[in-house]
Amino acid sequence: MVTGLRSPWSIVFVGATALVSERDTGQVVELTGNGGTRVVGTVPGVKHGGEGGLLGLAVDGQHRLYAYSTGADGNRVQRFALTGAPGSYGLGPSTTLIDQLPSGQIHNGGRIELGPDGMLYVGVGETGQRSRAQDLGFLGGKILRITPDGGIPADNPFPGSPVYSYGHRNVQGIGWTADGRMVASELGQDTWDELNVIVPGKNYGWPLVEGTGGTARGFVDPVQTWPTDEASPSGLAVVDGTVFVANLRGTVLRAVPVADLGRSTPLYQGRHGRIRDVVRAPDGRLWILTDNTDGRGTPHPGDDRILAVSLAPAPAG
């Protein structure tokens, strides 16, 4: 679909128009068709360093753009009005929804998604402060849930707190199955990366547990794990009966059946390098975002790029 992106991180759609965030430049890029791109705007005050910068994007039904980025005082989530029209979008005025979130050279999290309940879910990494993932007063190592205006929903599991779940190391993908289950991909340390089903108010164990084995201690075990050198899961997309999980270090896209979240099938192993994000486009195809220009990959001519593949129809019956 497009080549020449620089450290891209997230893809969203405004109607049929795709927007992509670039981590290191702080730019939001619009795809204009036939492989063309243009800069929509630069998110003000983005401070790139290590894994920080302009990270996740989301778009609501009013065509407002949400952006997670690293600023001088920590990570933050802002909402931008979009000006113009397809082919001429611009960044309008911004509203800061939540700020002064933990930030660092590593584990900034950054994935944001609007849930089926209309709330905004925010994955915040523990920024290397491992033990504080267990501290409910520290917003790193958590999945947060806020309203689209930045308020704290009355039905959050911890009254007056944006914390939705805790004990996470670095959540990178968030989505929902058709039956309402929330799934999240998470980067482990030395042993196991994880796919989790997220239950409000629950503790997912980090740093006391990596991978499975925590239920006897009151933690929630992942539904699937992968060795860290084969995975490093990033963005995910739930499409009909499949959870597609992008993998960085593992250079693979994994297809996980919703009916059996403990099983997966590798796709495109090693063919396109690091895969940062995966989304379903409005035309039904699956878009795959590579990330070989972030300093950890091996760029090939044309990197970074977005690939589009058609999904096979479900078997009859």
d(CA 194, CA 214): 13
**Tens of pLDDT, residues 281-302:** 999 999 999 999 999 999 999 9
Query: DSSP E strands: which ranges in 6-53?
Result: 8-14, 17-22, 27-33, 36-42
Closest to 266 in 3D by CA, of 254, 248, 250:
254
**Residue 317 above 60 pLDDT?**
no
Report pLDDT digits (tens) over 48-76: 999 999 999 999 999 999 999 999 999 99
Provide the token pair at 43: 């998110």
- Rounded to whole angstroms, how far apart are CA atoms 5 and 30? 11
Give residue 313's pLDDT.
Answer: 66
Q: For the segment 185-216, what is each residue's pLDDT rounded down to a tens digit?
A: 999 999 999 999 999 999 999 999 999 999 99
**What pLDDT is recorded for position 33?**
87
Q: What is the pLDDT of residue 312?
A: 76
**Residues 293, 295, 298, 301, CA torsion sign:** positive
Q: What is the mean pLDDT of the chain?
A: 97
Nearest to 37 by CA among 308, 310, 309, 306: 306
In the predicted model, is pLDDT for residue 316 greater than 50? no
pLDDT digits (tens, 9 = 90+) for 220-262: 999 999 999 999 999 999 999 999 999 999 999 999 999 999 9
Q: 83-126 pLDDT, tens per residue?
A: 999 999 999 999 999 999 999 999 999 999 999 999 999 999 99
User: Each residue of 135-154: pLDDT tens digit?
Assistant: 999 999 999 999 999 999 99
Confidence bin at 163 (pLDDT 50/70/90)? very high
- Confidence (pLDDT) at 209: 97
192-198 and 265-267: which strand pairing? Answer: unpaired
In sequence order, what DSSP letters do the residues of 245-271 get, joined into one string? EEETTTTEEEEEEGGGTT--EEESTTT
